[in-house]
Amino acid sequence: MFTDIGHRFGRVEPRRRMRDYVRGLLAPVARKNSWQLAEQAGHTTPDGLQHLLSRARWDADEIRDDLQTYVADKLGENDGVLIIDDTGFIKKGTTSAGVQRQYSGTAGRTENCQIGVFAAYTSSAGRALVDRELYLPKSWTGDPNRCRAARVPAEREFATKGTLARAIVLRALSSPLPIAWVTADAAYGQEGRFRRMLELAGVGYVLAVPKSQFSLAGPRIDHVFDQAPDQAWERRSCGPGAKGQRMYDWAAVQLRAVAEFDYDDGQPVRRRWALARRSVSKPDEIAYYLAYAPLEADAAELVRVAGTRWAIEECFQAAKNECGLDQYEVRRYVSWYRHITLAMLAHAFLAAMTAREAEKGAAAVRMPRSSGSPWRKCGDSWQLSLPDTPTLVSMR
């Protein structure tokens, strides 16, 4: 791994410090800040590692590109899914780049924190974080003096989390990562510009959306499924979790096509879907998705992709617990990117080692297929009596 990125450092000193830093992130150090990582590496002071993060000459984006190539080589599969989500980093004070009181999904409440938008790559081989952007609220981008003190580049303007996510996805699609699908939660899925960007790129998606989402000028997505018969719901696992298979009741709706995006030379190349996931124990809890898929993809494949979104949460947890993703004590903008990128690199190394060990063990367990009851059939499909009636398609 070190040989893959060593050429990004022009001098031997920062190259060695990078090696010591990443090794420290992988080591069983109680608190992975510069002081304890320096002690782990045998340094008398943390000055060298702090210089690596703040003033040394190297580009964290170049390391990110190498990271994506590394993950593509170790974990890349044709079924690869790119997952977008954000996570919070609780911080004290007001001087760390991007910090303010804002809602953190990690904490589940409003906290004084930084927010990072991330991408994870997951496939049948494994999963790892592959990109990151620091969200800068308007309280920062509107205050040049504050930005200057935190070394925020003068050209950095305000960008929503959705804008950052689009930039991350476009970079990933131009990288060596083999990406068949993109998935994200409703904060990103509800953005029409985000979905349109994926459609223009020709990549499939399964994106969570709020219940008030309209489906192609038709009824609200929750209204589409409100009148679905009991037979329309089929119990199915969307993948293994900490307590076994994650079982939900699922229903799928095939939506009308859009000629501009779904056809090529007059021939259909993509299908649009709406998907609903209902809790088994709490039937009132229903999550909704919009999907854009190849013709050969069936509803079972959409369920699989929707179920991969949990992988980025596992990546966050592992990177924070094992690689010190959130244990930095830096304030400058560039230092945040450098620490986060090196922590992601350490996490990717662990993911690659896990994948290699898995290859030596038992084959992966296939997701079981369930046998639901048939729906009330109308011709070759299942129908709901709604305005602009979408077509309900069997989960089988």
Instruction: State pLDDT tens for residues 241-298.
Output: 767 788 999 999 888 888 788 888 778 888 999 999 999 999 889 999 999 999 999 9
What is the rounded distance in angstroms from the CA atom of residue 35 to the CA atom of residue 45?
Answer: 7
| Closest by Cα among 136, 194, 186 to 163 | 194
Per the CB < 8 A criterion, the answer to whether 322 and 133 are in contact is: no
pTM for this model (two decimals): 0.87
Could you report the per-residue pLDDT of 40-62, keeping only the tens digit for each?
888 989 999 999 999 999 999 99
Residue 217 confidence (pLDDT)? 58
DSSP state of 220: B
Determine which of 225-229, 275-279, 298-302 has the lowest per-residue pLDDT on average: 225-229
| Closest by Cα among 210, 130, 221 to 177 | 130
In this structure, the strands spanning 81-90 and 181-184 are: parallel
**Which residue spans within the chain are E strands per DSSP?**
81-90, 100-104, 109-122, 127-134, 181-184, 204-209, 234-241, 244-255, 263-264, 267-268, 270-278, 286-294, 377-378, 381-383, 391-392
| Closest by Cα among 291, 273, 276, 122 to 206 | 291
Helix spans in 42-105 (H): 47-54, 60-75
**Which residue spans within 172-233 are E strands per DSSP?**
181-184, 204-209
